[in-house]
Amino acid sequence: MTEKIAVLGAGSWGSMLANILTENGHEVRIWSYNPDQVQELNEQHTNEKYLKGFRFSERLRADTDMKAVVQGADDVLLIVPSQVTRAVATDLNQVLTELNSKPALIHGSKGLEQHTFKRMSEVIEETIASQYRASISVISGPSQAEGVARKDPTLVTVASEDLQAARHFQQLFMNNYFRVYTNHDIIGVELGGALKNIIALAAGTLAGLGYGDNAKAALMTRGLAEISRLAVSYGANPLTFLGLSGVGDVIVTATSQDSRNWRAGYQLGQGKALETVINNMGMVIEGIATSQAAYEMAQLTGVEMPITEAIHAVLNGEETVAVAIQKLMTREGRAEIG
Ligand SMILES: NC(=O)C1=CN([C@@H]2O[C@H](COP(=O)(O)OP(=O)(O)OC[C@H]3O[C@@H](n4cnc5c(N)ncnc54)[C@H](OP(=O)(O)O)[C@@H]3O)[C@@H](O)[C@H]2O)C=CC1
Ligand SMILES: O=C(CO)COP(=O)(O)O
């Protein structure tokens, strides 16, 4: 069945997901606040700053007017950097109020709100009035936009407390290069997607310093152990961390040179200043804000997160990378499990 879908956010992931939905036969409109980007998408069918060299479906239409994009939509996908999700959802609430409509909502952002530590579905739930929303779903998993652009077989998961909603979005997104599973554990899926960015930053840093495969495997394994420990303390199902939005996303972002978090870490490892790294990237590096949130969550809950602490200290200029690694390596011996 063809649906009308509004996508809010036209960065690399928003525009790529919009293209998948368009190729799947849906009528998709994408919103961006940048008129030049809207013109480029509509006329050249490209989005060069965010997805170099990729040509989008000519059926995908872009607009700067959020109300025009959302009008008549059966579904709305929010896909902006986590720290602006609340602002965009607030505008969406206004639009839904004016249109008096109640589309199905899904987001694909991988981060936690600074200071509140809220997951994005919690931010959206708080922001959109209950009469204009049903359950909220999230799409997450190992899915670099650049890989999807190359039609690399990609597997993701859609999580929601409402499995019917998750199945609805599964059907909308599925095709022969993009396979979608469902998961009931929205806490685990959102926390997995957000927290793995810390491990990706750390993995890039090790690579930038010239460390090899042993260090990478060590970091990914112990990184997964600590992020799942934190997530379980917030109610996640530990098995989710053996799945696509746990180990799957750690693998792709901690090894792929397409990952912005990995690339940021790599430059930090090579000695570049954080500010330079952020300016050079021109796209969101979610792990920076998320490492601050996770550090504070660990302090609050007493969950041990040594890698997160190390990354937090490096990003805040409290420790050099060399000192942080030495501290991690010379911690008191421990049992691996338990
Ligand atoms: N890229 C990927 O491969 C994947 C990304 N994700 C997640 O998706 C989310 C979005 O990432 P992605 O698309 O890659 O990010 P990008 O940095 O590529 O793009 C973000 C987009 O949001 C826009 N934006 C920034 N601030 C605002 C605002 N206040 N209001 C409206 N729009 C704004 C940016 O515009 P401008 O630059 O003009 O300010 C840009 O178009 C992130 O949480 C990311 O972790 C998840 C899976 C894969
Ligand atoms: O989450 C992602 C892939 O699953 C994208 O990661 P980056 O933001 O590091 O590119």
289 a known binding residue? no
Which CATH number, 3.40.50.2300, 3.40.50.2000, 1.10.1040.10, 1.10.10.60, labels domain 187-329?
Answer: 1.10.1040.10
pLDDT tens, position by position, 49-100: 999 999 999 999 999 999 999 999 999 999 999 999 999 999 999 999 999 9
Ligand nearest to the CA of 147: 1
Residue 250 one-letter amino acid: V
What is the band of 338 on the pLDDT scale with cuts at 50, 70, 90?
confident
**Annotated catalytic residue 196:** yes
**Residue 289, phi then psi, degrees to nearest 5:** -65, -35
DSSP 8-state assignment for residue 316: T
Which atom of ligand 1 is closest in space to residue 286's alpha carbon? 45
Question: Does residue 134 have a pLDDT over 90?
Answer: no
pTM over the 0.90 mark: yes
Average pLDDT value for the chain: 97
Decide if pLDDT at 227 tops 90: yes
> Which of 15, 51, 66, 79 to mutate for ligand 1's pocket (most ligand atoms within 8 Å of CB)?
79
Query: Which residues make Cβ contacts (< 8 Å) with residue 321, sequence separation at least 6?
Result: 205, 209, 268, 269, 314
CA angle 159, 254, 120 (to 5 degrees): 30
4-184 is classed CATH 1.20.1260.10 = no
Ligand 2 centroid from CA 253, angstroms: 6
Can you tell me the mean pLDDT for 163-189?
A: 98
Query: Which of 196, 216, 272, 327 is an active site residue?
Result: 196
Q: How far is the CA of 293 from the centre of ligand 2 (A)?
A: 18
What's the ipTM? 0.99
274 pLDDT band (50/70/90 cuts)?
A: very high
Across the range 12-33, mean pLDDT stands at 98
Distance CA 39, CA 30 (A): 12
Q: How confident is the model at residue 311 (pLDDT cuts 50, 70, 90)?
A: very high
Instruction: Provide the residue ranges of all domains of the chain, joining segments of one domain with +.
Output: 4-184, 187-329
Rounded (to 5) percent helix, strand, coil in the chain: 55, 10, 35
